[in-house]
Structures are given as C-alpha cells and as structure tokens.
Amino acid sequence: MAVIFFNEDVPKPKLKFTILKKWIMSEIELRGFKAGNINYIFCSDEFLLEMNKKHLNHDFYTDIITFNYCEGEIISGDMYISIDRIKENSLLLGTSESEYYRVIIHGVLHLCGYNDDTLEETQEMRKQEDDSLLRLKIY
C-alpha cells in the first residue's frame, strides 16, 4: 500500500514528500485504520473546477476534492488539490506552506469518516486538522 504524489497540469510543489507519507500513514493508523492506496494529484484551479462540475455538479473553486475508495478499515482514495487555491488561501490566512499540509490531511480525514457539512462537523474537522498538524515534524 502506498501514498503517492502526482501532478496534473502544474509543477509538483517542493514539499518533503517522504516525511509527509510517514505522517499520513501514522495519522491513519492513529484513527484505527490501515492505509491502502492514497493518491494526491496537484492541479490548477481550472482543472479542479472542471472535475467539480463533472463529478459533483458544483460550479465553484475548491482547494480539494476527495474520491473515497475505502473498504472497511482500509483507507484508499484519490485527492485532487488545487495549487492555485492553496496559494491564494495561504496568502489570505497567512499560513504559507502549512496550508498544503492542512489540505493534505483534510482529505485523509474525510476518508477516515470526518465531514464538514455542518458547523459542528466543521469545528471537529478543524480540531482534527490542528491536532494532526501538531504531530507533523517537518522542520
């Protein structure tokens, strides 16, 4: 089983992928699951907008779309991440590179069963993201 990072129509960001893979796997295990095949695909706003329209009937920009292929306790999925959204959001929020990590773990949390449809769910999702980010030893 593997965590793999791809890029579609943008250059792959310069991140510490080996560290990120270990972190993702440990966050999955911490929640009582096992990692299956997890693919991250970095792309542009326009690429992700077209996917959002085609697969979810949403006509708006987003930072991530997660396709869930989980079976039982095996966490698997494809996550498309807009580099444009991350760059813009990191400027707005003053989060720089850490915005990549938040979005990366956000997708994993969705695969682990966390949602963000209601205010309560969103608050719990943010808490889980924050806790996960505290465990990331990237520097």
Residue 22's CATH number: 3.40.390.30
In this predicted structure, what is the pLDDT of residue 58? Answer: 87
The SS3 assignment for 139 reads: coil
Domain count along the chain: 1
Q: Domain range spanning residue 74?
A: 2-135
- Summarised one tens digit per residue, pLDDT across range 66-107 is 999 999 999 999 999 999 999 988 887 776 778 899 999 999
Place of tokens 């706003």: 45
DSSP state of 25: H
d(CA 75, CA 53): 25
Distances (CA, A) of 12 to 4, 34, 43: 12, 26, 9
Query: Average pLDDT of the chain?
Result: 93
